[in-house]
Amino acid sequence: MPYLNFWKVASYFWILPFLLFFSVFVGYAASSPLNELILMEQIIQLVKETVLLIVLVTFITLILSVPAAIMYANIMIPSNTITDFDENKVPKVYNSTMDAVTRGSSDGASIAFSVGTILIAVIALVFIANSILGFVSSQFGFDLSIEIILGYLFAPIAWLMGIPWDEAIIAGELLGIKTTLNEFVAYPGLAALGDGELSERSKLITFYSLCGFANLSSVGILISGITAMAPERKDDLIKVSLKALVGATLASCMTGLIVGIFI
């Protein structure tokens, strides 16, 4: 189906930063012929290590997260209903190839625009809320933000994953950042931690527990994206959106828990 092809292509966009990185170093190597072979060897080695790490982490997380997501979905929305579907009567989505191209492109552009808009809106709302909380809390001589609040809420979960209690609040705050914003903000925060703030084991558990799209932005992306393809299911998506966020967060934490058992 065209939608599947669109998302399949979009899933490869994570390669773009590596292509940019590669092109910058190739340009530098070209301007310094004496260092060209050395730089090319370093680039190839770095790319191999980075791609191998990404593939390994993605594979492990996928293997662990899928059963966890199914488990939490059945716990939160139990159902014994079996959907009957006649494979010989597949509904025809498009009337022709040109119809598929035009409508698929239009729906894809609409989804991409919605995703960007939702990300900006959620980040802006979090910033406004943090500004208000920061102003009020500063009057009483302490700092307060959504991330700090969620940090204390996630601290028991971090402790249950195997992180010591004296490190659980830091790990919980990173989980809070990931939930309110996204993992692309949380991972730099994890990398920027000073020596001794988290042990190597706690960092690895936190690293895997942050790997997921369970955040407020993803809820909006889920609703807008699927609504573009199935408008009649919008109300159903809105009803289960909060449960989906909670279930996905717990599934990500389950990944960190399983990793913590084996290290």
- Give a three-class secondary structure readout of 130-182: HHHHHHHHHCCCCCCCHHHHHHHHHHHHHHHCCCCHHHHHHHHHHHHHHHHCC
Q: Where residue 132 falls among pLDDT bands split at 50, 70, 90? A: very high
How does DSSP classify residue 88? T
pLDDT at 2 over 50: no
Residue-level pLDDT at 13:
42
What's the Cα-to-Cα distance from 153 to each of 51, 147, 168, 199, rounded to whole Å? 34, 10, 10, 21
Among residues 216, 218, 222, the alpha carbon closest in space to that of 237 is found at 222
Residue at 89 is within a domain: no
- Separation between Cα atoms, residue 39 and residue 41, nearest integer Å: 5
- Separation between Cα atoms, residue 14 and residue 219, nearest integer Å: 21
Q: Do the Cβ atoms of 201 and 233 come closer than 8 Å?
A: no
Q: Do the Cβ atoms of 202 and 164 come closer than 8 Å?
A: yes
Residue at 87 is within a domain: no
Mean confidence (pLDDT) of the chain? 76
pLDDT at 205 over 60: yes
Q: Could you tell me if 19 and 101 lie in one domain?
A: no
Q: Could you tell me if 44 and 120 lie in one domain?
A: no
Location of structure tokens 């942050």: 210
Q: Do the Cβ atoms of 151 and 176 come closer than 8 Å?
A: yes
Two structure tokens written together for 78: 């139990």
Number of domains observed in the structure of the chain: 2
- Separation between Cα atoms, residue 236 and residue 240, nearest integer Å: 7
For residues 48-68, average pLDDT: 67
For residues 76-101, average pLDDT: 74
Q: Could you tell me if 105 and 188 lie in one domain?
A: yes
Two structure tokens written together for 142: 């302490």
Cα–chain center distance at 142: 31
Residue at 7 is within a domain: no
Residue at 244 is within a domain: yes
Residue at 66 is within a domain: yes
Residue at 119 is within a domain: yes
Q: Where residue 106 falls among pLDDT bands split at 50, 70, 90? A: confident
Q: What is the 3-state secondary structure (H, E, C) of 180-216?
A: HCCHHHHHHHHHCCCCCCCCHHHHHHHHHHCCCCCCH
What's the Cα-to-Cα distance from 221 to each of 11, 110, 216, 245, rounded to whole Å? 15, 11, 9, 12
Residue-level pLDDT at 59:
65
Max mean pLDDT range (2-6, 80-84, 179-183):
179-183
Residue-level pLDDT at 4:
37
131 vs 4, residue with greater confidence = 131
Q: Could you tell me if 189 and 120 lie in one domain?
A: yes
Residue at 82 is within a domain: no
207 vs 230, residue with greater confidence = 207
- Separation between Cα atoms, residue 53 and residue 60, nearest integer Å: 11
Among residues 211, 209, 201, the alpha carbon closest in space to that of 163 is found at 201
At 77, is the secondary structure helix, strand, or coil? Answer: coil
**Domain that residue 27 falls in:** 12-77
